[in-house]
Amino acid sequence: MGTRHELAASALEDLPITVALIDENGEILLTNRSWREFGPADGPTDHVGVDYLANATTAEDEHARRAVEGIEAVLAGDRDAFSMEYPCHSPDQQRWFLMRVTQFSHEGRRLASLVHLEITDRKLAEIAAEENERRIREERKTVEHVLERVDGLVTEITDAAVGAETRAALERDVCTRLTDTEPYVLAWTGRVDVTRRRLSPREWDSRDDVPLEDDELVLESDESHPAVRAFVDHEPQVIDDIDAFDDADRWWPVGAGERFQSVAALPLAYGDVTYGVLVVFADETDAFDERESLVLESLAGTVATAMNALEARRMLTSEAVVSIEVAVEDPSLFVTSLSERVDATISYRGLTYDADETPQLLLYADREIDQEAVLAPDADVRDLSVLSKNDGGTLLEVTAGDGPVTALNEHGAVVQELSVSDGVADLAVEFPDSRSARSAYDLLERRYDRVELISYHEQEEPSQRPHDVSARLESSLTDRQLLALRKAYHANYFEWPRDISGEELADSMDISRSTFHQHLRTAQRKVLEELFD
């Protein structure tokens, strides 16, 4: 084993940090392998005899000046130790080091050890942490600003929704309040003409007279427009950079790109009813990030809820009803497939409900049909049976599932007429309001291949509506009495000659003939009481 000095020298030589010993004048007395390998290839191999302080003093930077002052203070005995961190970057790499200077004595001489420890990994982690903290601070400021702005906007939109007397006033107020909020520069609401299949701006507002796109949009051919896509797909649509949008020149005026940088279009939907769209333009790109989009979706929901409330209020005070006529061409429609299967024109007679509230349709085929011919059920049919045959025709009873008649009935519709021939179903329906009509029409379009709107118009109803009388009657009749009355009426039992007998109707209700007539007479008496009392 060597001497203690040899062991110390060997340990110093193999340390994975750069170490040098200097005397009181700053001259290098000893270096280890790491120190020698760190230096340039064409420089001194061990740097022994080099004046470290003189070399450091020639370097014209703040870090060298601080290092020299610290080392001189240690060698002068003014301090026992000194340390500092400094960068030592190369053209292709960033590096940082920690220099530590420690005083010690040997044979009466004041010496110092210089240790340079690379701390690049730690420094990069600190820089990343500082950058992350800076980003978090900026995001917090942004969120606080957005929340402050959004809170005011939500409050204003809610106030507008609550205080509006008409839908037009609501839409104008919403557009104005949106354009009073940066970075929005233009806002408009659009409504759809279901007859002409057009979407048009109805109310709008802008900052600094920003122009409004004034062309009608055709739902079938203008599908690239975000407003059309929002209405048809029932989903918000966002264009982050209008300049990069292929159809920008087609939809927005030349030069509008100076003010229009991004756009969001949102459907104004309440439940399954879409009242229109809300379109908002901003004067900066990427204005509608996820957070902003969620806020606008919430605002659109608030506006649609207010529209629904206004519609309900108008419905309660108005005596208008909406009538539409549509043609549906789709072989999956059960009345269409039935017409083709039995080679007959099928017409609708009426709708009844059994004791379990299961809907039952009465249909009439213009030729005699055997039960075997109608056994094959459709997806929308649970059961189909022949009630009676007369005058070359057949009365059918259908226990319906989720078919068009029952679905329309759930929207408050009254089916006035339904007939099917040559693969086309002609349907005339009456609704209590335009909201229900729009909802039902959208339902038909979603379900069937081809739906064509033939007519749409509103008309006044008498002060006492038929469904008001019907509601009172339904409350006074038992389920069996109501079912017997409805079946007898829709099956033309009260016609002469009768299309069906009491025995056939009783069989369809799975009751005796005498019980059927008892239910029917009681129901007739209550109808007459409503009429004459």
Query: What per-residue confidence (pLDDT) applies to 82?
Result: 94
**Angle formed by the axes of helices 290-317 and 120-163, nearest 10°:** 10
The domains located in the chain, with CATH, are: 4-118 (3.30.450.20), 141-317 (3.30.450.40), 320-461 (no CATH), 464-533 (1.10.10)
Per-residue pLDDT tens, the chain, 533 aa: give them.
Answer: 456 667 767 777 878 788 889 998 889 988 888 888 876 655 556 678 888 888 887 667 888 888 899 999 999 889 989 999 988 888 888 889 999 999 988 888 889 999 988 888 998 998 888 888 888 887 776 666 565 666 667 777 777 767 777 888 888 888 888 888 888 888 999 988 776 778 888 888 888 776 666 567 887 778 888 999 999 888 999 999 888 887 777 776 545 556 788 999 999 988 778 889 999 999 888 888 887 888 888 888 888 888 888 777 766 555 667 888 888 998 888 888 888 888 899 998 888 777 677 778 888 888 888 777 666 556 566 678 888 887 788 888 888 766 777 777 777 778 888 899 888 989 888 887 777 777 788 888 888 888 888 888 777 654 445 555 666 676 777 878 888 888 888 788 888 778 788 888 888 888 888 888 888 888 888 888 877 76
Q: At residue 78, what are phi and psi to the nearest 5 degrees?
A: -75, -25
For residues 482 and 472, is the Cβ–Cβ distance under 8 A?
no
Exposed (0-12), middle (13-18) or buried (19+): which is 121, by Cβ within 10 Å?
exposed
Rounded to 5 degrees, what angle do the CA atoms 253, 259, 263 make? Answer: 80
- What's the whole-model pTM score? 0.49
Residue 139: CB partners within 8 Å, gap ≥ 6?
none
Would you tell me the crossing angle of helices 513-532 and 466-476 to the nearest 10 degrees? 130
- Look up residue 123 and give its amino acid: K
| Distance (Å, whole) CA 128 – CA 503 | 89
Question: Cα–Cα distance between 456 and 429 in angstroms, integer?
Answer: 10
Instruction: Write the CA distances from 354 to 203, 272, 351, 359, 397, integer angstroms.
Output: 48, 28, 10, 7, 12
d(CA 419, CA 119): 86
| Neighbour tally for 386: CB within 10 Å | 19
Q: How many CB atoms lie within 10 A of CB 392?
A: 9
The confidence score (pLDDT) of residue 59 equals: 62
Amino acid in position 453: L
Predicted local confidence at residue 265, as pLDDT: 94
DSSP 8-state code for residue 446? H
Q: Measured between alpha carbons, how far is 124 from 401 in angstroms, rounded to an integer?
A: 68
Tokens encoding 354:
């059994």
* Among 436, 419, 132, CA closest to 428: 419
Q: What is the distance between the alpha carbons of residues 350 and 159, in angstroms, rounded to a whole number?
A: 46
Point out which residues pair with 204 in neighbouring strands. 188
- Cβ atoms 113, 83 nearer than 8 A: no
Place of tokens 């009429």: 531
- How far, rounded to the nearest angstrom, does the alpha carbon of residue 327 sit from its chain's CA centroid? 32
Q: By the 8 A CB rule, do 268 and 277 touch? A: yes
Rg over alpha carbons for the chain, rounded to the nearest Å, is 43
Q: Exposed, middle or buried, 282 (CB in 10 Å: 0-12/13-18/19+)?
A: buried
Listed in sequence order, the residues at least 6 apart from 368 whose beta carbon sits closer than 8 Å to its beta carbon are 389, 392, 393, 394
- Cite the DSSP H helix spans in 389-465: 404-410, 434-447
Nearest Cα residue to 183 out of 210, 162, 213? 210
Closest-CA residue to 85 (of 75, 103, 70, 104): 70
- Helix, coil or strand: residue 486: helix
Q: Using CA atoms, how far apart are residues 322 and 439, in angstroms rounded to an integer? A: 12
Residues with Cβ within 8 Å of residue 59, at least 6 apart in sequence: none
